Amino acid sequence: MMPYLFKIGNFELRIYSLMIITGLLICIFMAGRKMVKMGYKKEYLENMIIVVFIAALIGARIYYVIFQWEFYKDTPLEIFAVWHGGLAIHGGIIMGFIAALIYSHYLKIKVMFFGDLIAPWLILGQGLGRLGNFANGEAHGVPVITPPEIIFRLKPVFTDFWTSVLYTFNLNSMPENVSKLNEIAKNGAEVTFQGKVYELKEYVPWGISFTDKHMPAAYRDFGTLAVHPTFFYEMILNFTAAAIMYYFWRNSKNISTGLIFGIYLISYGLIRGFVTMFRADDLMLGFIRAPHAASLAFICIGIFLVVRAMKLKDNI
């Protein structure tokens, strides 16, 4: 897959950027139209989105750098090299919400008004962004020859398991060598890990492989091995959540109660918590995945907001 639609000299129209811009435009159009119907100026929303978007980018980068500090402390200039990759969605959501809180206080409008207003379109945009990840060959999953028992563990062991796989078959981590596992797995291969024998085979038929063209992260990590298309897993689930939130969003009485934003936090917490099990490149917080810790916090806050919104509705 090509990461850009076209290239003229040093200029590239990257698919990832196009998806992000498309998501922003959809949000501005749909939420802006709803805001006008509710008697507010559309400019409030447009300014809010600009402020939140910038803050979210900064937050996503800070979050990523914090969890990769062992690398960045020795290469401080790389902290600013966002074009080399390294954005974490949880950090973007946290910093974006803080910016929205400050800006809504300035406008003297409830922050949950904006949260409910943009929530369906926010998660829709996140789904579109995963198409960009596919185009870049990044945010990918582990190879589909990985046994489910290795994937579905709260404490990640894939890195150690993969080291055992390469050692067993006398392969180094170079993509050309890792690609040899395609034939090895077809002939029936077994690996002993933590005292248990695991079979390497194609556990699901929908894996996606990448070539060395454009040298995407998926190829650098696993050569031409088919990997779990985690970008599509999350995209489908995000679009489904967006449809559910849209159902509540159509009723203007739900706007500003926190109900829709609460559903967003619960939905994305569950989605990211599930998808991260398949991811090969997640950040770590001690012995657990950082997205699991953040997702748990999102779910708890989301439940609080939904329960609070339902109580407010009962009191009306």
Residues 6 or more apart whose CB falls under 8 angstroms from that of 113 comprise: 104, 255, 256
Run of H or E including 31:
helix 15-37
Q: Is 130 annotated as a binding residue?
A: yes
Nearest to 64 by CA among 85, 49, 33: 85
CA atoms within 13 A on the CB side of 307: 6
H-assigned helices in 250-289: 259-275
What whole-number distance in Å separates Cα of residue 247 and Cα of residue 23? 19
Chain-centre distance for alpha carbon 222: 20
Burial per residue of 243-282, b for 16 or more beta-carbon CB atoms within 10 angstroms, e otherwise: eebeebbeeeebbbbbbbbbbbbbbbbbbbbebbbbbbeb
What whole-number distance in Å separates Cα of residue 222 and Cα of residue 235? 22
CB 210 within 8 Å of CB 122: no
DSSP 143: B
Give residue 216's identity as a one-letter amino acid code. Answer: P
CB 180 within 8 Å of CB 169: yes
What whole-number distance in Å separates Cα of residue 145 and Cα of residue 228? 9
Q: What residues are designated binding site?
A: 130
